[in-house]
Structure formats: structure tokens, C-alpha cells
Structure 1
């Protein structure tokens, strides 16, 4: 089992091929009553046109927020799960995209909101008329139930056996139709609303088409119990640790204790879980972390899990909470002089060429300074080991670190991938200085001398 790099796309804002939107591509995002209705016209064919860019980024899979016919630009209010929103294209466009992605060794993860659907769907209109579809929706205390009381999102009665067959059980069900078309993986929206038993049944039915299909759940909670059912979760538990650490609301020592327990409880499936920093549901990274954004991204790529890049973060796009985090992709900023893009490309390359970051075990590192967070990743040998050190404070720190590595040989050094900083190995511990508001990803060099190597028989 190993981690992958994902790339999240909000389809309406990535690239428009057919120009079917109702809003000019260059119109700034506006927050008003119509925010959820404005369609900039991004589509499936547009994503296909940009696969060369995704290939250059060297990501492993893309995750698309919902593409089914809906009543909004975010499409979490599906009107028909069996039909692709015509603004985005049709089944032929999806199949063409899948084929082109697979040709470039990129997988596709689709998003589906099974907990609820639009109050303007045909099913709900029939339910209001007292037809059999009324049984498809949750009904309590003489009223239908709505997700977080949003009247546009009517909750589905997923305990209904006929509905289960339509959505995921039958061979021509929603989930199986699109999986058979070529969809590799699924992200289950509001997985926490579905409950354990229903989640287990959905996972079982998807896996019946092949164990290679991965199911990731949207869960804003401690991973332990949820990760037992699915292949992984969107690991927002990491997110809050990173936010509070970098905002100096959480000591490095305490963050280390929490991470160790979380990773231990999650087991290997933590590698498939998505390391989240931003998404369509949150402000963008630079808005959240300010000058410490590189520290956050370094943790995203080095903690056990699959880093998920929200489109545009790699080129430095900014935006506060919804709807401003859903701006159109700024293609003019995709160039070789973009410093943010250079940073991401270097980090992606390091991840892809590091077996310790993709598959390695997580080791706790004890620091002499409680404000420092440090951890160690290793797969099989110190040759592939990475020591990560985060200094979220405004002071330079003189550190001494202690961790489980018997091949830390005295009087040798560890070298940072992102700076000229070096740490010195002293009697099996590691010491040195870490600049303020900085991170380091340290590794060994097999030879520090012209002829001599302390690791020659390793």
C-alpha cells in the first residue's frame, strides 16, 4: 500500500471548451444570492484539454467534485444521478476524458452525494405529490428532512431497499453504471451522514467490480472507526493540527503526541487517506497560513497519507471562504517563473522519488524544545529516511532530536532538500539550528568524504 498525489478540480472553474456557461470567464467572483447559480462553463472536455498540464505536474489521480445534473454550480444538489450535467458534457465526454487520463497513467475519482439530492429533482416532485418516490426520502414529524436544514437539499431514505438497488446495488445502479464506464475511485460526500452499515454495503458493492476501486469518505472527525470501513478518508483531523500548530495554538510536543496516536490507530490505510489543506469548502492555503504556507504544504507532503492539491494552489491562487475559494483557474500564471509552482514541482518530485514518503513508517521524534515538531519517515533503510523538522515560531531554534534510528552514526550529517542547512549527528541524536518560521526535510548522503563512507556496509 502506498500514498499517491491527488489533484482536486471544481469542474465549472477549471477550463471551458464548449463555453456553455452563463458568466464571463474573466468576471470576478461575487458573493450574493446568485453565487451558487453562476456557471463559468468549465467542462469535461476542458479538463481533457489540460491533461498535458496534469501530466507535467506528475500527479497520480484527479478528483472531480460532482458532475451529475444538478441545480447549482457545485452540483452537490443532484437532480439526476444517471445523467451528467449538460453544461459539463455527456457520457461520451466522460469516457473520452477517462481514456485520455488512463493513457497518461492518471486515475479518476468521482464525487457523489448519496445523502441528499435537489428539492427540484423529479423524484422529489413526485414525492410531494404522494407518489411512490415519497419512500425515497426521509420523513419525520410530518415533514421531510433536509441536510443541515438547507431546504434545497432533501435527505434520502437510504434504508429503503428499492433506493439502495437504484443507487448502488443493482448491476445497472448509479455507482455501477459509472464505475463500469471506467471511473477508478469514488469520494463519498457526507460519509459521516451515511452511517457505518450503509457505508459498508456501498463499499462492498463497489469492490464487487474490483478491489482496485478505492472509496474515500468525507469525514470531519477522528479517522479510527471510519477508516476501518473505507480505503481512506479526507483527513481533516490532520488539517486542524497543522492550522493550530502554525498559528502557535498547539505546541510541537503536543502535536507530535496527537499525530503519533492518530497514525497508530489508523494503520496502513492512513496512506490512502487524503492530506487536506484546502478545498472548495475552505479558504485557500495562502489565505489560511499566510507567510507559513510552505510549512503547511511541507507537512501535507510528508505526513503519512496522499497529498491532495486543490486546483490552483500550485500556482499561488488565493481566495477566502466559499465562494471566493472557487475562482477560475489562472492559466496565465502557469509559467516557469512562478515561484510557487517551482516549489510544488520540487516537492512533488521529492515525494514521487521517495519510497519513505510514499510507503514509509512514521516515527516519533523527541525534541529538546517543546515548540518544535519533528518526525521521521523510513521504509527499509536510512538511505531512504527523511527527517522532517517544523519550526513554527519567530525565533531561531537550537535543537537536539532523539528517535529510533540505529544507523545515525556519530560525526556524520543530515542535509536539507530545500536549503543549505545541515544537522549534525552526535552519539545517535541529531542537533543543529532551525531558522524561524521554517521547515526542513533532511536526508543522509552516503558519502560525505572523497573515499570514506560510514554506511559502506549498510
Structure 2
């Protein structure tokens, strides 16, 4: 047996409570393992521990599995009668049988030795307050990310003197201010509602000298270029009237150069009461030669004008958590995204969650983390993270023509075995953002563009599109990915077909419960054509929504069984290159 391919631990995403009654247990094995059984029972079923008892447990097969690149992920759900569980595994290959315990592998002969220890895996107790709980409404949400300065100028009376004329097309510069504001977003709420959007994620709106606002000057103040506190309250109110949620962007890893405590430090040095609010290693700072690159103090990246905040300091934590509490209590926001969340202290994140969930248990707390983020997703910090690994995996399949549908299956399964199921339900799924090249500029043609969006909208989690995605707006890396929304062209109908296509996908996602579900399966109907993606979102036995995307260079035959929910380049029973078919097959009604 491939012992190195086997792994399990009795915590994190390998063993965790889904709710107060159900415990999810997962184990990885190599492909040589053909059968996995779990032997389980209550730890005290045979008596107290160390009392000479003989504990055996009941054997159950583990039948559900997902394929990874080099391993199989086996999963089962159990209901411990007394909220605790003791267990081990039986692993069967074609010609071997081994038993897997916390201390390693045991042969059948060793199992028969009288008195030999059995160091089982144990999940001690399913304490309700330790069970990860995520806000259910997020799974029903289709997000729309807005970079305010470039979205819509709705109030010219607050335009600064240096505002430049709105640019319907072409590249933009970081130093250009176009006058987009909160009033402009309010004016376009009905447009977004018709598109099918029910969640808006705003990049920072607090006072800052830049257009991106990630160098905050005053966390307690709305930037005057965007409006004021009353304007933002009106935006939230009008959004809520349309059943739309609002999520703000909080920058707590670093601040801007003109943040008052930093200015106090620059003026007073080590005598400033705010000196320990920042991570300063050496004083005075030599800005002329790049103080950050010399390591004199820590910053975001190596930008001297973005000093890193010391969230290890209780005073810093209290200050920013009070700021966030005010946003929830005063503005009634529904979500909070934390910028550069993986560099903020875990202590800050834990205290922030406790405070905000006390005010609004249903608030959505999202972290910007681009890599595996399990340490932040154990139920006491974030509800979810921005699912960049999923977006990159989807795009890679179109960029890398050597990838097969089996590779696609492996990488998608990897994305959804990293975390708990309740986390997967609310992952923030995206294909591009203000920090990346736009999807349209990464994609050769519109057929491939819509195909990738179709896959995104069928994945577990909560999908987000970046403003302009509905018109296939192009844009290279920052700042080109932050172009102005071309409202004149949109209102003239130049993008009508594109908007209708994206809106149809959005409304399908919103109306079909199975597309939002966490259960999916990759059949192998197209094993002979490795560039055809096929997966099913499972519901009841024999009831599923199937997504088929033909990425090959040849047309394929696909019977139009069931109810066709969406199709593009599908003629009769022929799915053309870059064609999309989404259909629903209704079975006999037995639950899976």
C-alpha cells in the first residue's frame, strides 16, 4: 500500500461538525486503495478510558469520494449519538488490508495481538459554540464589485478641481480622478437589480488622497469626493429596499501617510503616544533611500507611504474594531472585507468577529487571502476568503491547452477540499478584480469568456463579477483594470447582447437551487475528448443540473435530455467549439 498517500487528522477540514448533529470525516489515500471503512463508536461505549475495557466500534463503508491529482479524498457524514466519537479506518487495496490509527498503520496480524494498544482518532465533543457557522444569505448572493471613482459620477457638485472628463474607453492612470461617487452608484441600483445583482462590494470609501483609497487618512470619514455619511446611509437604505446587500472594504493591515497617528509619529518620533501603533525597527527613518526597503519599518509591500499597523497592540485593535462596529451599527452594512487579511494578527481577527457578530450575527466577514486560508477559517475569524485559487484554476484550463478535463476535475476538487462545507457555501468566487488583469483581456474571444462565466456561476459559493464584466470590458494589470464604466455606450445599446448573456447566467444562478449547492460530481462521459468539461450539481438521486462546455477544436454530440436551462452554440444535438449546455435532469425523487 502507498502509505505516504494516506492522511487524516481529527480536526480542521478532515474532521469537523457541520452542525450540532452531523460530523464530517474525510481521509486521503493513494489511488491503490479501493475501499475505505470507518470503525466508529462512542469513546465510553465499553467503559471509562483505562479501565480494562475492550472497545470495538461499528464498521461503516465510506462511499463518497473525489479525485485529486495524486490522491483520493474519501468523505462521510456521521451522527454521534452522544456528541463525541472514537474511530479508526480500514483500508483495502487489491491484495492488502491495513488499519489506520492516529499512531500509524497496523496489519491484520497486529490487530489480533492481545493487549496491543489501539490509538484511535477521537473527536472529543461537538460543542455548539465551536461549530463554524456562516451566514446563509451569502450563498444566495451574486456580488458586483465597484471601484467607485470609475463607476458613475452622480453628483458633479462634489467634483474636485482636478477631476478629468469621463473616458468611455481607453486606458487610465492611477493619478487620474474621474469623479465617480456614491450618488452615481445610487443612480445605477435599478440597472444592477435588473442585471440580477443582489450584493455590492465597494472598494474603500474612506478619506484618502488616492483614487483607490487603500492609503486611508481618516477611517471615520467618508471621502468627500464620494459624498458624505448621509449619502452612504442613503445608498445602503436604497440598496436594502431592493433586497441588495452592501459590503465595505476595511484596510487594517496598513494606513495612509496622512493618517493622524502616523503624522504624530513623524513629528515626535519615539515620544509619540502612537509610536507602538506601527512596526518601527529603527529611528529616525531614512525616506530618501527607502526606509521600508532598508527594513527601518514595516509597510504594505515596500511602500513608504503605507506604514504597517501593529495589530498586536491592544489599543490599535480597539481603535479599528470600534471603527468597524460603528460601520455596522451606524451604516447597517451587511458585510466587511479585510484587505491584506493574512498579515493582520489572528488576535485582531478573532476580536473583530466576536464584536461584529454580537451586533449582527448575520454579518459576512471576508478576508483577502490568495492562498490556502484554513488557519483563518476555523469558525472564529472569517466566514470566507476571496477564492482566487478557483478563479485561477478555471482560467488556467483555457490558457493551458495541455490540461485535460481530468486536470480540471483535480484542481476544482482541490479548491473544495481545503475547507469545511459551510465555508465552501459562502466562498467569494471571482475571475477578476481591481487587483488583477480583467478576464476579457485574458481571454481570446467572447465564446471562451462566456464559457468561463458559466462555469463560475455553477460553482459552490457566492459568485462575484467586477463592474464592467457584463459588457466584457477589457483591461490589463493595475491601473488599466480600473477603467471608466462606459455608460454612454451602454445606454446606446452597444453592449445589449453581452449584458443579456451575463444577466441570463446571473438569473439562472439565482433561480436554480442546485447551482448554488455544495454537491458536485464529474462523470467521465467525455473521457475520449479531454477538452470537454462536464460536471453535475447533485440534488436528489438521479436529479441534477449538468454543465457541459466544449473547449475542444471539434464539435461533439450531446443529446438534449431533460430541461435545457442555458445554451450557447448548441445546434440540435451538436455542441460546437466553446459551446455551453446547462440542463436539468429530474430523477425519481429519492434524496441522496
Pairwise TM-score range, normalised by the shorter structure? 0.7 to 0.9
1:234 pairs with one of 386, 399, 404: 386
Instruction: Go from structure 1 to structure 2 and tell me whether the alpha carbon gap of 1:161 and 1:93 turns closer, same or farther (over 3 Å shift).
Output: same
Q: State yes or no: 1:325 paired with 2:481.
A: yes
Point out the structure with the larger helix share. 1
CA-CA distance at 1:310 after TM superposition:
0.7
Q: State yes or no: 1:343 paired with 2:490.
A: no
Q: Please list the CA deviations of residues 241-278 of structure 1 after superposition, one character each: whole Å capped at 9, or x if unmatched.
A: 11210112532201201212321332232221111111
Q: State yes or no: 1:11 paired with 2:148.
A: yes
Instruction: Go from structure 1 to structure 2 and tell me whether the alpha carbon gap of 1:315 and 1:193 turns closer, same or farther (over 3 Å shift).
Output: same
2:326 pairs with one of 170, 177, 196: 177
1:92 pairs with one of 210, 216, 230: 230
Q: Distance in 2 between matches of 1:51 and 1:17?
A: 12
Instruction: Go from structure 1 to structure 2 and tell me whether the alpha carbon gap of 1:370 and 1:38 turns closer, same or farther (over 3 Å shift).
Output: same
Q: Please list the CA deviations of residues 207-231 of structure 1 after superposition, one character each: whole Å capped at 9, or x if unmatched.
A: 1112110011111112444433411
Instruction: Go from structure 1 to structure 2 and tell me whether the alpha carbon gap of 1:419 and 1:162 turns closer, same or farther (over 3 Å shift).
Output: closer
Q: State yes or no: 1:280 paired with 2:434.
A: yes
Match of 2:463 in 1: 307
2:553 pairs with one of 394, 399, 421: 394
Query: 1:376-455, aligned counterparts within 5 Å?
Result: 376-380=536-540, 382-383=542-543, 385-397=544-556, 415=564, 417-419=566-568, 421=570, 434-444=575-585
CA-CA distance at 1:29 after TM superposition:
5.6
Q: State yes or no: 1:25 paired with 2:165.
A: yes
Q: Distance in 2 between matches of 1:138 and 1:23?
A: 35
Aligned length: 424
CA-CA distance at 1:398 after TM superposition:
5.8
1:132 pairs with one of 253, 273, 276: 273
Instruction: Go from structure 1 to structure 2 and tell me whether the alpha carbon gap of 1:293 and 1:419 turns closer, same or farther (over 3 Å shift).
Output: closer
Instruction: Go from structure 1 to structure 2 and tell me whether the alpha carbon gap of 1:73 and 1:422 turns closer, same or farther (over 3 Å shift).
Output: same
Q: State yes or no: 1:166 paired with 2:288.
A: no
Q: Distance in 1 between matches of 2:170 and 2:356?
A: 37
Q: Distance in 2 between matches of 1:80 and 1:249?
A: 49
Please say if residues 223 and 235 of structure 1, whose CA atoms lie closer than 8 Å, have aligned partners that are also in contact.
no
Q: Distance in 1 between matches of 2:468 and 2:590?
A: 45
Please say if residues 187 and 216 of structure 1, whose CA atoms lie closer than 8 Å, have aligned partners that are also in contact.
yes
Q: Distance in 2 between matches of 1:249 and 1:281?
A: 27
Instruction: Go from structure 1 to structure 2 and tell me whether the alpha carbon gap of 1:104 and 1:149 turns closer, same or farther (over 3 Å shift).
Output: same
Match of 1:55 in 2: 193
Please say if residues 523 and 535 of structure 2, whose CA atoms lie closer than 8 Å, have aligned partners that are also in contact.
yes
Match of 2:246 in 1: 108
Q: State yes or no: 1:218 paired with 2:368.
A: yes
2:395 pairs with one of 230, 238, 243: 243
CA-CA distance at 1:435 after TM superposition:
2.5
Match of 2:340 in 1: 190
CA-CA distance at 1:157 after TM superposition:
0.5
SS at 2:179's partner residue?
coil
Q: Distance in 2 between matches of 1:88 and 1:381?
A: 51
SS at 2:422's partner residue?
helix
**Bigger Rg over Cα:** 2
Please say if residues 4 and 306 of structure 1, whose CA atoms lie closer than 8 Å, have aligned partners that are also in contact.
yes
Q: Which structure 2 residue ranges, 5 or more long, are not aligned?
A: 1-135, 284-295
Please say if residues 143 and 201 of structure 2, whose CA atoms lie closer than 8 Å, have aligned partners that are also in contact.
yes
Q: Distance in 2 between matches of 1:324 and 1:388?
A: 33
SS at 1:388's partner residue?
strand
Q: Distance in 1 between matches of 2:583 and 2:346?
A: 41
1:145 pairs with one of 298, 303, 322: 298
Q: Distance in 2 between matches of 1:26 and 1:324?
A: 15
Instruction: Go from structure 1 to structure 2 and tell me whether the alpha carbon gap of 1:457 and 1:76 turns closer, same or farther (over 3 Å shift).
Output: closer
Please say if residues 567 and 579 of structure 2, whose CA atoms lie closer than 8 Å, have aligned partners that are also in contact.
no
Q: Distance in 2 between matches of 1:257 and 1:457?
A: 28
CA-CA distance at 1:422 after TM superposition:
8.6
Please say if residues 569 and 579 of structure 2, whose CA atoms lie closer than 8 Å, have aligned partners that are also in contact.
no
CA-CA distance at 1:355 after TM superposition:
0.4
SS at 1:123's partner residue?
helix
Q: Distance in 1 between matches of 2:414 and 2:208?
A: 41
Please say if residues 391 and 429 of structure 2, whose CA atoms lie closer than 8 Å, have aligned partners that are also in contact.
yes
What is the TM-score when the length of structure 2 is the normalising length? 0.67
CA-CA distance at 1:352 after TM superposition:
1.1
SS at 2:145's partner residue?
strand
Q: Please list the CA deviations of residues 153-180 of structure 1 after superposition, one character each: whole Å capped at 9, or x if unmatched.
A: 1100011111111110xxxx11011111
Q: Distance in 2 between matches of 1:101 and 1:150?
A: 36
Q: Distance in 2 between matches of 1:416 and 1:98?
A: 33
Q: Distance in 1 between matches of 2:207 and 2:477?
A: 25
Match of 2:406 in 1: 253
SS at 1:268's partner residue?
helix
Q: Distance in 2 between matches of 1:90 and 1:412?
A: 54
Match of 1:357 in 2: 515
What's the Cα RMSD here?
Answer: 2.5
